[in-house]
């Protein structure tokens, strides 16, 4: 029989080539599964005859039993799903019965995403600009575009000039975002983001690009594509200057985009499409945020609510 390491290499190649999964996704699978293979080798556990007790002990290991650094419950759940999928592939390739076919990941409590207030969004944008630093117009455009489109940070920093277009026959802009699994969607860009983007494209980007014929939309001071880490830093520092004490990340802007749309009466199916969710179930978590807000407003305002 093939070794666990060999089956793992074949599985990752299968995900990349045949399934067409994004590099970040396959890298996450590879990390989770490599950790498992190292664990069973260290403990002398047979790969093709894993028991439920073995799995339960492995989950306990991921939770920090034995002194290791514990993983978050969401990471453990993802690791178990990855393992179950891997065993489905490996058992069919190597010809053995899948020993963990019915094993389910641990249930994790549903956490509501944290949305910024509209006032916080405005303050974040205002403090992204620094007087006398023309390059900060790029930071303003980045934040405005993240909030205007609900795009993931990886989608926004991967944008090229060719991904910007006019929306129909109007002067309004739209951008083409490339989401998970290579799925594309077109998202309109609001007036505030359009204005910030125009200022960046006219006043900043040509100087950053210099003589390079680079297509990336957002550039760093070296004239190459802005990195994910730099985008996080830009937002974190703007939040600090704005005095926003919550932990603000690029995903906070995505959460805020969805929550504010639903607060404003947008149809959940439209929000699903704009976010690039494959299932409306994923989008429904944002309705819990708005219901919580309604409950708070009712409790505060109704004379007989308390």
Look up 127 and say whether it is catalytic: no
Options 127, 138, 152, 178, the catalytic residue: 152
Look up 245 and say whether it is catalytic: no
In three-state secondary structure terms, 190 is coil
Look up 260 and say whether it is catalytic: no
Look up 43 and say whether it is catalytic: no
Options 138, 254, 255, 260, the catalytic residue: 254
User: Which CA distances in Å does 96 have to 33, 42, 104, 194, 212?
Assistant: 19, 22, 20, 57, 55
Look up 111 and say whether it is catalytic: no
Options 35, 130, 180, 185, the catalytic residue: 180
Q: How far apart are CA 225 and CA 62, in angstroms?
A: 36
Q: How far apart are CA 229 and CA 243, in angstroms?
A: 21
Tokens of 150: 């609900």
CA triple 304-305-306, angle to 5 deg: 95
Task: Say which residues have a Cβ less than 8 Å from residue 5's Cβ, sequence separation at least 6.
Answer: 37
Candidates 178, 141, 175, 148; CA nearest to 161 is: 175
Look up 295 and say whether it is catalytic: no
Options 58, 87, 200, 286, the catalytic residue: 286
Tokens of 221: 């001071």
Options 35, 84, 241, 251, the catalytic residue: 251
Which parts of 43-190 fold into alpha helices (H)? 52-62, 73-94, 118-128, 136-149, 153-157
**Active-site positions?**
152, 180, 251, 254, 277, 286
């Amino acid at each position: 029989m093939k070794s666990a390491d060999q089956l793992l290499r074949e599985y990752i190649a299968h995900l990349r080539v045949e399934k067409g999964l994004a590099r970040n996704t396959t890298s996450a699978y590879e990390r989770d599964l490599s950790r498992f293979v190292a664990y069973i080798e260290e403990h002398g556990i047979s790969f093709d005859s894993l028991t439920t007790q073995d799995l339960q002990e492995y989950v306990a290991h991921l939770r920090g039993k034995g002194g290791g650094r514990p993983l978050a419950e969401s990471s453990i759940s993802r690791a178990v799903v990855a393992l179950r999928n891997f065993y489905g592939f490996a058992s069919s390739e190597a010809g053995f019965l899948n020993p963990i076919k019915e094993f389910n990941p641990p249930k994790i409590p549903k956490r509501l995403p944290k949305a910024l207030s509209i006032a916080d969004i405005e303050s974040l944008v205002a403090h992204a600009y620094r007087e006398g630093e023309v390059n900060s117009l790029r930071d303003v455009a980045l934040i405005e575009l993240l909030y205007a489109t609900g795009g993931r940070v990886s989608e926004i920093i991967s944008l090229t000039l060719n991904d910007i277009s006019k929306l129909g026959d109007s002067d309004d802009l739209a951008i083409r975002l490339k989401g998970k699994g290579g799925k594309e969607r077109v998202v309109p860009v609001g007036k505030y983001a359009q204005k910030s983007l125009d200022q960046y494209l006219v006043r900043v980007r040509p100087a950053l690009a210099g003589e390079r014929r680079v297509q990336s939309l957002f550039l760093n001071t070296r004239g190459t594509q802005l990195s994910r880490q730099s985008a996080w830093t830009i937002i974190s520092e703007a939040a600090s200057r704005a005095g926003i004490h919550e932990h603000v990340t690029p995903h906070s802007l995505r959460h805020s985009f969805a929550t504010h749309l639903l607060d404003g009466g947008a149809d959940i199916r439209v929000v699903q499409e704009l976010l690039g969710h494959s299932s409306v179930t994923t989008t429904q978590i944002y309705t819990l945020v708005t219901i919580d807000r309604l409950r708070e407003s009712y409790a505060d305002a109704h004379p007989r609510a308390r």
